[in-house]
Structures are given as structure tokens and as C-alpha cells.
Structure 1
Amino acid sequence: MMAELFANSKWLGAGGAVGKTSPVKPAPFFRRSFVLETLPEKAEVFFCGLGYSELYLNGEKVDDGVLQPVVTQYDKRSRYLRYDLTGKLRKGENVFGVILGNGWYNCSTENTWYFERAAWRDYPKMILELDCDGIPVVISDSSWKCSGVEGPIRFDALREGEIYDARLEMPGWNCVGFDDSGWKSARIVPGPGGILTEQIMPACKVMQRLPAVKVVPGPPKDAVVYDVGQIITGWVNVKVQGEAGAKVKFIYSELMDHYQCNIDRKDLEPYVTSDRFQTDEYILKGAGIEEWEPRFVYHGFRYIQVEIEGAAEIREISGCVVHTAFEFLTEFESSDPVLNKLHENTHWSFIDNFTGIPTDCPHREKNGWTGDALMAAEMGLFHYDLESSYHDWLQTMGDAQRPSGQLPAIIPSNGWGFNWGSGPAWDSAFLLIPWYVYVYTGKTRILEENYDRMKLYMKYLSSMATDHILSFGLGDWCPVDLQRMTDTRITSTGYYYADAVMMKKTAALLGKEEDAAAFAELAESIKKAFHEAFYRGEGLYGCADAPERDDDVTALATALYWGLCPESESAKTAKRLNDLFVARNYKSDFGILGSKYILRVLSDYGYGETAYRILIQPAYPGWVNWINHGATTLWEQWKGFSSHCHIMYGDIAAWMIQYLGGIVPDETAPGFSALTIKPFAPQGLDSLRVSSKLASGKVIVDWKKENGKFRLALTIPTGVPCNVILPDGSTYRQNETFTEYECSL
């Protein structure tokens, strides 16, 4: 049946062709009345509405998802949604209703990444098929009616906002009995050009509503600033009362200029050529208390500046928290409020940056930067059920790949990011995230589906290497001192080696023995070349032609983390790394790659106390310094300029679970089919509790220090083998679901 899906359905739109200067049209509304003589035993509707869409049946929205479907490389692939309508259809007349928004498909706003020039760009369109007991009963064709330029959503642009005129609402437009004689026939239009595949990942949803409070003192006259208390992704929900035609404008920002008493967006706006950046507008109809929230845009914000033109009064306002509705798996709590706040801020940064795709930030860009996704992947897999979400996004990454194997820095991409912003440290998301998914969940389908494209990427990397050394791409991005940024040859070659190793393991897992042998040989060649090029003796890794960068901590950590340092030298390198941080008062002298490697490497080589002190030291530069300046999420820069909601420094939450909680992922026991629990209890931390729903079942690690003793209460899934290693080195084999342990500190 699936091969015949949409066989007779047509793509429908309101008509018109998009050009560079084409205006943004009001959101089109569609409806289709149909009669059922008998009710089916099984009814399913298959639907795709680009860019974003809402589907209604008899006046009710068919689900609670928003911002649907997920963004893709539209000229290669679009996602359709499947809804079970069994028991929801009526005998007699029924009505489908559809609203379409522009979303990513019709980005009209000029921006740094040129999405307004995308090859796929066009006015919104839809395709639909209703199957009753396996037989198509309703399809999208010219019998559908379209509102044309009528309707209340007068403007919607992803990076700008939405204008809604409630005076133009059409009550009952999606119900039986509505008079659509003034509507036009829907236009049959060209499709987006790619294939249609089902969206597997969960929908985005409104997951929370945070009350907004008025900021005192407020900004200049005619405006009020509200604070939801937390940087979130989403939009406002407002209850307002006033006269018809009064306008309420909502301007969103993550920062407040407390000197001017208004919002501060100077670090975000320059990337988008528009004076409407992150601005929604509601025009009242004058009918008592009116409630409204946007449909087809989203914003990153904590503060909302409200400006009213005309007679209107805000009765209630809240912030709607929107993200992909994946299941939360892990809870974390410790005796240290600062550590808890770091974990909480990382959680918020992750969910704020997963709105259909993993993004770098929810306001300025909204782009699917591959490096940011890679840095946060293990944190994400520990905390959320992400297999299907990564499946869909990585499929889009494969769609964006060039025939040469080259990948762009952002997914999706309209062609931007191939020659700047990409490179091994970013592109490796295509190889390493599938492997991480396998290790954490035991599932191999992402590896299987993408293997040939991953192999093609390795061919591309090899074509770019000189004597197995790579020198292109972004490196240790956003370091403390850009002039002392780790030499890209070191970090890029490190990822080249990591990719070769992962391809060797993947090939072996999938039974491709010849490929496994070839990648093993390549990995050894890269390892040898790396050591010859960058090892300078006495545990030091660096570049002979750049001695000013000697004792670069990310360079040392790269060699240790990826296993490029010979065993005979690794202890020297680890000690050198530790000594550098002790000498620098544990300050975070690294960028995003270093933030992934360093805490892990120090912990693995016996310097866990140093790793913990780096994490919690309060001075600049460091994670806690952000908290001391009011951060509710992770920042883009150690100094605090630019975005205040990035996830790329977020591996710290994975480190907390793996090292402090001791839940150790093991590629020889994928999906945690066997457990190793090895908690670390640093000085100054008195207790910790981690509850995690792993692929093999629920694990609860609950430890505390009492009277010079370390006490652990451990709960594991029934029947899962478990090795327990206590801080004093003693080891146990746990066979019971619940066991308590004790050792001296």
C-alpha cells in the first residue's frame, strides 16, 4: 500500500510563484467536505503541509503537535505525517481543514545563510490522502476550496514573526455547514521536488507554560517588559481585552538592558535583515477577553517587550515552552546547588535547541549546526529518547551530501556551509552520532541506512589529506583567546582518525569485513602520521611551526581522548595536562572541542578532582561564571557576548552522569545490556542521585558520604549483569535488583 500512497493526490496551493522580492502572503486556509455512507473499521490520513501546517477534522485539530512537519532538504525529501482517525469520522458529512504557514520552506527574510535564495523556496503547499479500510476516499485535488488572501494570519516569517488580525477570523471555517461559496478552488501546484517519507521523530509540542511577570522598573512609556524567568524556545500565550483594531506587539529577547530598562538584542539582530526580528503582533476583534498565541513561528527569549497601540489591556501573559516531544530519561540531583544549576542550565539549552532539528541557538540562527549537535549528542542520549529524532535529522544530512562526499556545516542547507564552517570536527556528526546511538540504545538502523554515505564521506576526507594530515575546517571553536586557538591540523586530524576507527567498528558490526580491514589500516596510518607530525617529546603535542601554541590543553586532550597518544607517553601527556590546569587555577582555557575532551580525559587518567574543579570554579572563564552572571542556559562565548543559549558546551551533563554517577556506556555491551557502575565522589560533593531509564531498564545511583564512609544504594534492571567499582577500587558483581555498598574514603 505504501508504494501507492499519494498516487492520485495532487499538491495544492493558493497559487502564485515566488521571486526574490515576492511579498509574504497571508496564510492560506483550505477545506474539503466529504460524505461517508458507512463508517470504516480503520481510517488513516496521510498529510504533508509545507512549510508548517495544521490539519483539522470537523473543527478539531487532529493532534497537539506544532511546527509540523520537521524541516528537511525539501528538494530531496519532505516528511508526511500519519494520523489514525479511527472512531473520529462521522457518518454523513465531514470536513477537513488545513492552514499552511511558510516555515523553512518559504523563508522570505534576507539572512546570513541565504535561505531566502533556497532552490526549493515556494509558497506553502499541501498533499493529503484519507484511507478508509485501506482504500483512498479523500485525496487532495481541485475539489478543495481555498481562502486565498482571506484569513487572520496576515504575515508569518520564521525569523521575523507573525501578524494576526482577529477581525478577519472565519468562525466555523473547518466545520460542516460553513458557507465557502466565496472561496476559490485550490490550485494544483508543482511539488517540492523530493521524495515523501514518513516523519518518524516525535512532533514538536507546547510542553510547558511559564507565567510572565512584569519587570519593574519598566521601559519607556507605551511599552512593558515581561520576564518568564528562563530562556526558552517558543512564543507567548496572551489574554487581552480591548477595542477592535487595537494592536499589541510582542518583541522577544533573551537579554534585558537594565540601564535603559528595555530589551537588548544587539548581538542577535545583525544576522537577519529585517526590522521585525522576533516580533509578533495581534490585532484585537473587540470581543471580551481574547486569547491568542502564534502558530507558525518560534522565538528564543526570556523577556517580552509589549507595546500597545489603541485601547487594550493585557490580562494574562505566559511563555509557551516548545520543543520536540521526546521522552525525558534521566534525573539528576546533588548536594551542591551550583552543580544542580549547571545540570539544569544544560537541560534547558538542549531542549531549547531541539525544535524539529538540533540547532545551535533558537533565535539568531535556528540552524542545524552539525558541530553543536555532535558536542551535545552523548548528553542528549543520556537524558532523552532521541533515536528516532537523530534518525530523521541524519537522513536529512545524507540528503545534503554532495556526490563528492562533502557535507555542509548546517543541516538542512540551501548550499551554504560547504566551504566555510564545516570540516572534520563538524562533519563527524554524520559518523559518530550513529555510533553513539548504537552504544546507548543498541539500535543499528541509522548505521545501516547511512553506511554507504558515511563511506563516501571518508573517501572525501582522504582526498583532502596530505600524508594523512588534515588542515581544513573549524577547530576548537569559541576558545577563550582566539589568537591561541588550537591548531586546526591537530583537531581535524584527530577527527579523521576517530572517523576511521568508527568506520572500522561499524563495518565489522555490519559484517563488511573487507571494509573493516581497510579502515583499520587507514586508522593506523593516521595515528602514525599524527604522532610524527605533532609529538614534541615529554608529553607535549603541538606544531613545530607554531611554538607559541605549545602547552595547548585541547591539543594534549585530543591526543589522549582519541587514543592517538602511545601508551608509553600517555601518562606524561595526562600529567602535563593536569599540571597546566592546576597552574592556571582550573580556568577553562579551551573551546568547544576541549570542553568535550578535557573533563573526560582528566577523569580517565586519575585526575578527576582536577576535572571537577574546572567544572565548578567560579571565576572567568568557566561555566559557573555564567551562572554568577544570571545565566539560565549555556552561553556561546566565555565572555558572554553573542548568544546566551547554545548547547555546544553541554557535554558537562553527560560527564556528570557518566563520572559522578558512574553509569559507564560500553560499546561491547550496547544498549547497556551489561552495566558498569563506577561513581566518583570528589571533595566538596557530599551526595548525588541519578535516576536513568536506560535501554535495558531503570538504574538509580544514590550515594552519599557519612562519617568518613562512602555509601552507595544501587538499583539496576532485573537480569542485567552489573559490575560495581567503588571509589576505593573495590569491585563487586551485583545480581540483585537493589544492593547497598560501603567503603572508606
Structure 2
Amino acid sequence: MDFNHVKWIGSGVTGGAPHFRAEFQLSALSPAVLLISGVGFYELYLNGRRVGDQVLDPIVTVYDRRVRFVRHDVTEYLKPGLNTVGVILGTGWFNCPAKDVWNFDHATWLDKCKFALKLYIGGELRLTTSARSWLCTASGPITFDSLRNGEYYDARLELPGWCENGFDASGWESPLELAPPGGILEEQTSPPCKVMRRIEPVTLTKLPDGAIIADFGVNLTGWCRIRVRGRAGQAVELRYGERLFADGHVDKEHIGKFVLSGENQFDRYILKGGGAEEWAPRFTFHGFQYCQIDTDAELEAVTAEFVYTSFAQIGSVESSAAEFNQLLQATGETYRGNFVGIPSDCPHREKNGWTGDTQLACETGLCCFDAATSLEQWLDTLADCQRPSGQLPGIAPTSGWGYNWGSGPAWDAALFVIPETIYLYTGRRRAFETHFGAMLRYLDYAFDRATDDLVCFGLGDWNHVDPARMAPAELTDSFYLYCCTRLAAKFARRLNRPVAAELEARAARVRDAVNRRYYNGDGSYAHDEMTSLGGALFHGVAPETERAVIAARLDRIVREHRYIPDFGILGSKAVPRALADAGYVETAYRMFTQPEYPGWIHWLRQGATTLWGNWHGEASRNHIMFGDVAAWSFRYLGGLAPDEDAPGFSKVTLRPNPVPQLEFFNMCHETPRGRIEVRWTNRDGEFRVDAKAPEGVECKLELPEK
């Protein structure tokens, strides 16, 4: 069963979301497999039943480089005799109608929505896409759909029975056979997006002008499902946001400014009348805690549907500290809500696959979720965005935006850091085997931009509380150039590539250049910024003989600063890890848990249920780039430290660390070989640990010195 040499069809009629149908006869039931790719998004029906529970499928790619198809076992949907297949298409990322600052409305792949399908029954091809065997209409109830605007639905235009036998399609037209999107066809292996949770509002408030505000109590990604009753033609308008104006209405100003046409995060439903009606959008998603519902109809119910990639949760941590648990919960919710097919920065304002956010949070994702396959497929998309020179964009996919602003070594490091992290946690080599050539091209590009083996073409320690105190961008960029080059050398060794020695020499030159330019002696880098010291330790740039004095200086600076973070997103990962690696676990823990501004707990005390995009919270309030705290907890409190010599936890060394602020800490993680558990208590001066490793896996427990 292959998906090659397949024709693509679409509607030649302008209007809303096009509907397609085809009929075929079946004499006897046999195992049936249907292969489909529909761009931007598709919904598939057989004999009136929707096939599967996936949504927003297939996952976005750079469509003129790579297009994913999806495999469905449809045996249970078929019956002897006449059968009917139906498909609806949404614009998704493929044919974005909204103008935006990232230029997706001018993407190189932009075209009419289209799909390709093959149905195999008993191993034989029984139905495929062609203008002869299908009919289509663009006059259905979805009158408008846009990834960044929303969806409009007119229930008066519904087509009852359109994907069932016997439907009168005499007014439908033959579809057009269209050019393929241009990319290679490849099967989607990432778990699909699904409605993973349904959340009832904690309050429903009616404002003086009649608007109803549903507060779901948590910041989430997805949409609202409504049940309404009223007259035909009455409208229900839904506006989604994560904040409220002082007068109680939903505030979208801070998340809508980059969408240049139409209203952002807005759905509209028009009633058909005649009883209760239930509806939720299909081809868009929003980020929100609040939904403002404006209607003269009777609202009987509203429920939020939390949508994200349906990877399994494989890890969890819990402690005796309620606020720390709350922070870890918020981190997990942020990761989920920022993985709708691809890892993103935020689910409302942008929905973009920012590389820096993804690399900073990738270990949190792999500690908590079975996200390796999803990250691998996104890395394919990132590699598809690479220019011939080796240059990478700051977002993937991209329409051409983000190459000359928003990238840089700390962001581009996603191409290197994520394959290594996947390898450590799962043993999977695919990512670095597949993209090793892209890595070499990138390093050639980066070194061409270097002066005396130092680089400076990135955003630096982004979203620092005070940019005037930010570590030098040349320093942090060069840290990451060293990191990427050293990782490439490791990959070369594993792949037996002769370039390994050259890469090691390049990395050494960067390390030496950083120390010549920025190390002042006595443990001091640059102007003693936390990120400067922490980055030198975390990335392994600091001379081995100086590491202890640098760590002691960093610990002193953090304590003198009352444990308040004085860094941006790069420091948020480097500083706590550098401290913990040097034995200052308590200092790092106190940074995470001190309650003053700026800080993680400060967000929670302002009502946050997800991590914010900056310390003051005036922009996005659902951003994952400060989200390494969960991975830090697994690694340093739970002691779960993956080993490159035993990837996928084929051997396990557990190094748990107590902190006096916690009476107990529990951690579990499902490895490819089974479950690892660590439970410790720290009471009355006695530290007790219970640990469990998979059967047959050599496990060593190392306890901290008293």
C-alpha cells in the first residue's frame, strides 16, 4: 500500500470550507486501510461517521518540501454494498486568509485547499482521488475558517446526510485536479492532535451589556463547545483571551497585534432554529482562559475543549511544597498547550514553532511526555527551512520570515540540542543521523560569521527583566556555538565520520576565544551577570580548574540578590543547572521558589496557571521558554540523570538531592525499558530514599555527602 502517484483534487468554487463525496460498491468486507493527506486540515467521514478522533490533521510542514499523509484503519466503517466517503477541508497553515507579520498569507506553498486519498480493501486499491469519481461543493455551513482569526459557521447551510448513501448531490460539481503541494509525501508518525480534556467554567458572569464571560480557571489551548437554543438567524459570537479589561470584557489587544486582517481569536455561530444546537469549531484553535459570548439566543452550556498533541504522559514529580507543585503543574500545562502538532511559543498571539523556546524546553518535554516522535518530525520541518548557505530561521515552519531576526546560535541550537536530548532519553539515533549534514552546513555558516572564533547574531538572553544588565550577546551566542560544535563532534564520533577531530578542534577554538575575551579571573565572566557565569559552567566553556571558584561566585551573587532571577530565558536554564551541578541545589531551588518579582512563584501569585513569556506578564501568559524547571526537578531533586554512554537508560545512576525546604519528593519516569521511581523523605535530619529501576537494568544509587 503506497501513497505515490496520487492525484490531488480541490474545489474550483470560492466560498467556505469545501465538502467532497464519493461512492463505491463493496461486495464483501475485508481489512481496509485509507491513506489521506488534506492541506491545510481535513476531516474524513465514511458512511456518515467521522473517522477517528484526531483534529487539526495533518500536522503542518513546509508543504513545498514535505507533505505528510495519515493512515487510517477503516474496516469497521465499511459495509457490503454502497459506501460513501466524505472529506471536508480547512485552510490551516496552507492557505492562510489572514494577513500577519510573519507573511504566511504569502507563503511559497499558498494555493487552494486540496487533498489526496487512496483506499485499499483487501490489499487492493479500490478508490482514489480524481475529478471523475468525486463531487464537491463550497456551499456548506463553514463559511470561513482561519488559523489565526477563527471560524464562522452558519447552521442554516448544513447539508444533512452529505456523507451518507442516497444523498442528493445533483447540485454539486466535479472537483478540479490540482498540482500537488510540491513536497515529498511522507507518512505522519507523530501522535495526532486531539481533544484531550474538557473543562467546565468555574464562573459564568453576565455583564451589563449582556455579554457572558466564561472563566475556565486555567489557561488552555483549543476552543469552546456551546449548546444554544433560539431562532434561525440568531448569532453567537465567541471572543477568546487570557486577560480581562477592567470592565470585565475579554482583552485581546496584547495577543492580536500581529494579525493584520480580521479579528483575532473570534468564532461565530449562526443558529438554524428548532431546538437545542451544539457546535464547536473544526479548523482553528485559540489560547485562552476566558471566553466572551455575545448573543441574544439562550446559552444552555459552554465547555472548553483542551487540544494538544496526544502524546502520553510518561513522567511526574510531586513534593511537599504546594506552590512548587503548582509551578510544576503550570509547566506541564504550558508544554501541552504549546504542542498543537508542533512545539510553539504561544497558542494565541503567534502559534509559531520558535526554535529557541523548543530547545530550551525539550528536556522538560521528554521527562514528562512521550514526545520524541513529535519532536523528530518537527526537526524535519526545521531542516526543510534551512537555506543552502546553512542559515536557519527562528521559526519552523516559516514562509520566509525569521532568518535575519529572531534566530541566532541559541535558537539555532535546536537542530543540535534536541537530537542529543532525544538520544539520551530514548536511545533513538534518527534525529542526528538524518540531520548531520544540515548541522555541518549550519556550522560552516556560523563560523563564516565569526570574528576571532566569536559570534554575535542572535537575540541573546531574551526577556531579561532589565536589558541593561543582560549578559553580552556575543558571549551567550558563542556559548551556544561551542555547544553546537561540541555536539556535532559527538554525533560524528557515533557515526564514525572523519570530521569529528576537526569539529573538536573548532569547539576548542571557540572555548579558548570566549575565555580570552570574557574571563576576568577569580571566577568572574564579563560583568558578573548570572547568565555569564552560569552559561560558562553549563556549556562547559569554563576551564576545569576554575569551575569551583566560578560556581562559588555565582552562588554568592545569587544569594546576595536574594535568590531573585537576574536573567532572561537563556539564564533560566543555565543558571539553576550550573548551580546544581556544582552542589548548590538549594540555591537553585530557592531561585525557583522565592515569591518576589521577578520570579516563577510571583507569576502564580498573580493567578497564573501557565508560564508567562516575560517576567512582567504584559505580553503572552502561556509561554514555555522559562519551562526548564520541570526537567531540573527530575534531574537534580529526583536524581534522574541520563548518560550518553547508556542512552535510553540502559544503565541508570540515580543522584537525588534533598533540600531543607522539602520534607518529601517523589518522581517517576517511564523509560523505554520500564519505570524508574525515586521517593525520598528528609525529616528530622534523616534523608531516606526508595528507588526502583526496570527489571534487568543495572542501577546505581549515589547519595549526597552529608
2:267 aligned partner, one-letter code: D
Matched, 1:712 2:689: yes
Distance in 2 (CA, whole Å) between partners of 1:595 and 1:383 is 19
Structure 2 contact 98–262 (Cα < 8 Å) conserved: no
Q: Once the 2 structures are TM-superposed, how far is the Cα of residue 411 of structure 1 from its aligned partner?
A: 0.2
Structure 1 contact 374–432 (Cα < 8 Å) conserved: yes
Distance in 1 (CA, whole Å) between partners of 2:101 and 2:207 is 30
Matched, 1:667 2:649: no
Matched, 1:321 2:335: no
Q: Once the 2 structures are TM-superposed, how far is the Cα of residue 533 of structure 1 from its aligned partner?
A: 1.3
Question: Unaligned stretches of 5+ in structure 2?
Answer: none
Distance in 2 (CA, whole Å) between partners of 1:285 and 1:235 is 21
Q: Secondary structure at the match of 1:486?
A: coil
Structure 1 contact 72–78 (Cα < 8 Å) conserved: yes
Q: How does 1:390-539 map to 2 (within 5 A)?
A: 390-512=375-497, 514-539=498-523
Q: How does 1:505-654 map to 2 (within 5 A)?
A: 505-512=490-497, 514-542=498-526, 550-654=527-631
Structure 2 contact 47–77 (Cα < 8 Å) conserved: no
Distance in 1 (CA, whole Å) between partners of 2:135 and 2:91 is 16
Farther off after superposition, 357-366 or 717-726 = 717-726
Alignment-derived partner of residue 44 in structure 1: 33
Alignment-derived partner of residue 241 in structure 2: 253
Distance in 2 (CA, whole Å) between partners of 1:708 and 1:541 is 37
Alignment-derived partner of residue 14 in structure 1: 11
Q: Once the 2 structures are TM-superposed, how far is the Cα of residue 707 of structure 1 from its aligned partner?
A: 3.1
Structure 1 contact 165–283 (Cα < 8 Å) conserved: yes
Distance in 1 (CA, whole Å) between partners of 2:293 and 2:212 is 5
Q: Does the C-alpha gap of structure 1 residues 474 and 589 become closer, same or farther in structure 2, counting only changes over 3 Å?
A: same
Q: Secondary structure at the match of 1:525?
A: helix
Alignment-derived partner of residue 30 in structure 1: 20
Structure 1 contact 30–144 (Cα < 8 Å) conserved: no
1:669-696 deviations in Å (ceiling 9; x for gaps): 1001111111111111111111211222
Farther off after superposition, 219-228 or 320-329 = 219-228
Q: Among 196, 213, 217, which residue is 2:185 paired with? A: 196
1:466 aligned partner, one-letter code: T
1:523-552 deviations in Å (ceiling 9; x for gaps): 11111111111111211111xxxxxxx111
Distance in 1 (CA, whole Å) between partners of 2:33 and 2:569 is 45
Alignment-derived partner of residue 217 in structure 2: 229
Q: Once the 2 structures are TM-superposed, how far is the Cα of residue 722 of structure 1 from its aligned partner?
A: 1.0
Structure 1 contact 45–129 (Cα < 8 Å) conserved: yes
Alignment-derived partner of residue 123 in structure 2: 134
Matched, 1:337 2:327: no
Farther off after superposition, 96-105 or 708-717 = 708-717
Structure 1 contact 497–526 (Cα < 8 Å) conserved: yes
Alignment-derived partner of residue 105 in structure 1: 94
Structure 1 contact 619–625 (Cα < 8 Å) conserved: yes
Structure 1 contact 6–128 (Cα < 8 Å) conserved: no
Distance in 1 (CA, whole Å) between partners of 2:97 and 2:301 is 32
Distance in 2 (CA, whole Å) between partners of 1:165 and 1:303 is 24
1:127-183 deviations in Å (ceiling 9; x for gaps): 111122332210100124444331100110111100111111111100111111111
Q: How does 1:340-419 map to 2 (within 5 A)?
A: 340-419=325-404
Distance in 1 (CA, whole Å) between partners of 2:134 and 2:142 is 17
1:547-580 deviations in Å (ceiling 9; x for gaps): xxx1111011111111111112111211111111
Q: Once the 2 structures are TM-superposed, how far is the Cα of residue 215 of structure 1 from its aligned partner?
A: 4.2
Structure 1 contact 253–302 (Cα < 8 Å) conserved: yes
Distance in 2 (CA, whole Å) between partners of 1:113 and 1:552 is 33
Q: Once the 2 structures are TM-superposed, how far is the Cα of residue 275 of structure 1 from its aligned partner?
A: 4.4
Structure 2 contact 524–533 (Cα < 8 Å) conserved: yes
Instruction: Output the TM-score relative to the length of structure 1.
Output: 0.93
1:216-240 deviations in Å (ceiling 9; x for gaps): 4x43412110011100000001111
Alignment-derived partner of residue 171 in structure 1: 160
Structure 2 contact 15–139 (Cα < 8 Å) conserved: no
Q: Once the 2 structures are TM-superposed, how far is the Cα of residue 39 of structure 1 from its aligned partner?
A: 2.8
1:336 aligned partner, one-letter code: A
1:444-470 deviations in Å (ceiling 9; x for gaps): 011111111111111111211112110
1:103 aligned partner, one-letter code: G
2:374 aligned partner, one-letter code: S
Q: Secondary structure at the match of 2:304?
A: strand
Structure 2 contact 48–163 (Cα < 8 Å) conserved: yes
Q: Once the 2 structures are TM-superposed, how far is the Cα of residue 203 of structure 1 from its aligned partner?
A: 0.4
Distance in 2 (CA, whole Å) between partners of 1:400 and 1:171 is 42
Structure 1 contact 635–644 (Cα < 8 Å) conserved: yes
Q: Secondary structure at the match of 1:111?
A: coil
Q: Once the 2 structures are TM-superposed, how far is the Cα of residue 498 of structure 1 from its aligned partner?
A: 0.7
Distance in 1 (CA, whole Å) between partners of 2:69 and 2:383 is 18
1:101 aligned partner, one-letter code: G
Q: Secondary structure at the match of 2:454?
A: coil
1:598-617 deviations in Å (ceiling 9; x for gaps): 11110111211111111100
Q: Among 140, 144, 149, which residue is 1:151 paired with? A: 140
Farther off after superposition, 271-280 or 173-182 = 271-280
Instruction: Output the TM-score relative to the length of structure 2.
Output: 0.98
Structure 2 contact 16–142 (Cα < 8 Å) conserved: yes
Structure 1 contact 161–298 (Cα < 8 Å) conserved: yes
Distance in 2 (CA, whole Å) between partners of 1:524 and 1:581 is 29
Q: Once the 2 structures are TM-superposed, how far is the Cα of residue 47 of structure 1 from its aligned partner?
A: 0.4
2:505 aligned partner, one-letter code: E
1:690-728 deviations in Å (ceiling 9; x for gaps): 121122210111111233211112121111111111233
Structure 1 contact 28–146 (Cα < 8 Å) conserved: no
Question: Unaligned stretches of 5+ in structure 1?
Answer: 17-23, 543-549, 730-745
1:578 aligned partner, one-letter code: D
Distance in 2 (CA, whole Å) between partners of 1:131 and 1:643 is 46
Identity of aligned residues (%): 44
Q: Among 207, 229, 250, which residue is 1:263 paired with? A: 250
Number of residue pairs matched?
706
Q: Secondary structure at the match of 2:257?
A: helix
Farther off after superposition, 183-192 or 626-635 = 183-192
Structure 2 contact 23–85 (Cα < 8 Å) conserved: yes
Structure 2 contact 10–176 (Cα < 8 Å) conserved: yes
1:307 aligned partner, one-letter code: D
Structure 1 contact 144–186 (Cα < 8 Å) conserved: no
Distance in 2 (CA, whole Å) between partners of 1:721 and 1:577 is 35
Matched, 1:60 2:60: no
Q: Secondary structure at the match of 1:267?
A: helix
Q: Once the 2 structures are TM-superposed, how far is the Cα of residue 87 of structure 1 from its aligned partner?
A: 4.2
RMSD: 1.3
Alignment-derived partner of residue 678 in structure 1: 655
Q: Once the 2 structures are TM-superposed, how far is the Cα of residue 333 of structure 1 from its aligned partner?
A: 1.3
1:29 aligned partner, one-letter code: H
Q: Secondary structure at the match of 1:556?
A: helix
Q: Secondary structure at the match of 1:343?
A: helix
Distance in 2 (CA, whole Å) between partners of 1:79 and 1:508 is 32
Q: Secondary structure at the match of 1:722?
A: strand
2:422 aligned partner, one-letter code: V
Structure 1 contact 220–261 (Cα < 8 Å) conserved: no
